[in-house]
């Protein structure tokens, strides 16, 4: 595998993780239903934990601990050897496991196309339409301010 191929796969996985992390767990499950998911094992049982959030003032100041956030994570391995990881903000272990499963399936030559067409494409479409709806709703309340110049003279 060339460096360009590896970078392309990483970009594909990154885009898939963004879509899955922002999607609802019930929608992911609904999209996964028609796909004949192969046997897999949990490498890391789905679990909840905390991560420390760090921040910087102005983007270049000294880092400081902002607070903690709850996350769920999981790792699975398909019977064919592909390993997938799932991390999600919040306490949704099942969603983390489904994300890990989708990640592993996306790496499989046999299931990558099915995951892209059957899971990621509908979720991406729903995410874009929701964003557009929210943008239209926000735009409806937009107020344009005009600067008036008074001629004193």
pLDDT in tens, the chain (153 residues): 787 778 888 888 999 999 999 999 999 999 999 999 999 999 999 999 999 999 888 878 889 999 999 999 999 999 999 999 999 999 999 999 999 999 999 999 899 999 999 999 999 999 999 999 999 999 888 877 776 666 665
Whether residue 143 is contained in a domain is answered as no
Q: Is residue 148 part of a domain?
A: no
DSSP strand pairing (83-89 vs 64-78): antiparallel
Residue 108 CA to residue 111 CA, distance in Å, equals: 5
Asked whether residue 91 is domain-assigned, the answer is yes
Q: SS3 for 37-51, per residue?
A: CCCEEEEEEEEEEEE
Q: What residue numbers bound the domain in which 70 lies?
A: 3-128
Q: Is 12 domain-assigned?
A: yes
- Are 65 and 20 within 8 A, CB to CB? no
Quote the pLDDT of residue 150: 67
The closest of 85, 135, 132, 131 to 105, measured between CA atoms, is: 85
Q: Distance (Å, rounded) from C-alpha 101 to C-alpha 128?
A: 23
Residue 134 placed within a domain = no
pLDDT of residue 67: 94
Angular region, 78: left φ>0, alpha ψ -120 to 50, beta rest: beta
At 63, list the tokens: 């880092």
DSSP annotation of 61: S
d(CA 119, CA 112): 10
Task: Report if residue 9 sits inside a domain.
Answer: yes
What is the domain count for the chain? 1
Predicted confidence at residue 131, as pLDDT, reads 92
Q: Is residue 147 part of a domain?
A: no
């Amino acid at each position: 595998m060339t460096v360009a191929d590896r970078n392309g796969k990483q970009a594909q996985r990154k885009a898939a993780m963004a879509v899955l992390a922002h999607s609802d767990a019930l929608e992911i499950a609904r999209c996964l239903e028609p796909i004949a998911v192969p046997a897999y094992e949990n490498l890391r049982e789905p679990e909840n934990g905390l991560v420390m959030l760090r921040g910087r003032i102005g983007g270049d100041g000294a880092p400081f601990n902002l607070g903690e956030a709850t996350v769920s994570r999981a790792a699975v391995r398909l019977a064919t050897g592909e390993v997938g990881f799932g991390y999600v903000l919040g306490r949704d272990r099942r969603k983390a496991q489904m994300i890990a499963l989708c990640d592993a399936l996306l790496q499989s030559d046999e299931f990558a196309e099915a995951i892209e067409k059957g899971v990621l494409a509908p979720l991406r479409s729903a995410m874009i339409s929701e964003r557009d709806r929210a943008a239209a709703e926000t735009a409806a309340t937009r107020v344009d301010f005009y600067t008036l110049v008074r001629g004193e003279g």
